[in-house]
Chains A and B, each alone.
Chain A
Amino acid sequence: DAGVIQSPRHEVTEMGQEVTLRCKPISGHNSLFWYRQTMMRGLELLIYFNNNVPIDDSGMPEDRFSAKMPNASFSTLKIQPSEPRDSAVYFCASSKTSGVYNEQFFGPGTRLTVL
């Protein structure tokens, strides 16, 4: 079975540009999470969806960040305009609430560098 798929794996962009990160969760999973990992702040949740509906977006830094989940198999995280402090690894994870542990399966991450 395919795991969580994220694209691109690496992104280098210049300040002010729009960045779109993509995620395909594991088939059958009904929860999707976007996390950000930095040295300073560690791993922190940005937003999560349950059955394609945003449940908690309290971790979204500011209006420059937006996330969508138009269907059960696709989600995007957009940053517009990007800033150097947005440089981080962005992880997408998915889980299913009917699972034994309801553990989250993580994608490989997207390493974003904003110059």
Chain B
Amino acid sequence: AQKITQTQPGMFVQEKEAVTLDCTYDTSDPSYGLFWYKQPSSGEMIFLIYQGSYDQQNATEGRYSLNFQKARKSANLVISASQLGDSAMYFCAMREGGNNQGGKLIFGQGTELSVKP
């Protein structure tokens, strides 16, 4: 059964520093996608970054990058140059199947990130 694990319930980081949020997954499907979402205190879910299982390079989106280690089944989110507005809950999620398939997301429990000024 597919599973997503986020082992850090809460993290602190100093403003302008980089932070890594951990995510490990488990699936038997060779084709899958990994997502990170941000949920600020206002409650909305904001898509940040995507990594496909067959992607050769780690995904990057602005200050967000994904450290994808397929053999270890990990997909850690790296946020560079943290800003106060990065304080939020961060969720790792996985979808089995190829990119052209609609499919449900399985979410981890989330990591609450607090950025200190």
Contacts and interface: CB of A to CB of B under 8 A. Distances in A.
A49 to B, nearest CB: 9
Given A42-B110, A43-B91, A43-B107, A48 B102 contact: yes
Interface in B41-60: 43-47, 50, 52
Interface string B92-110: 0001000111111111111
Interface string A41-82: 011110010100001100100000000000000000000000
Interface residues of B, number: 24
Nearest to A50: B102
A95 B95 CA distance: 13
8 contacts: A48-B102, A48-B104, A56-B104, A93-B45, A103-B50, A106-B37, A106-B45, A109-B43
Interface of B: 33, 35, 37, 43-47, 50, 52, 91, 95, 99-110
Interface of A: 30-31, 33, 42-45, 48, 50, 55-56, 59, 89, 91, 93, 95, 97-98, 100-106, 108-109, 111
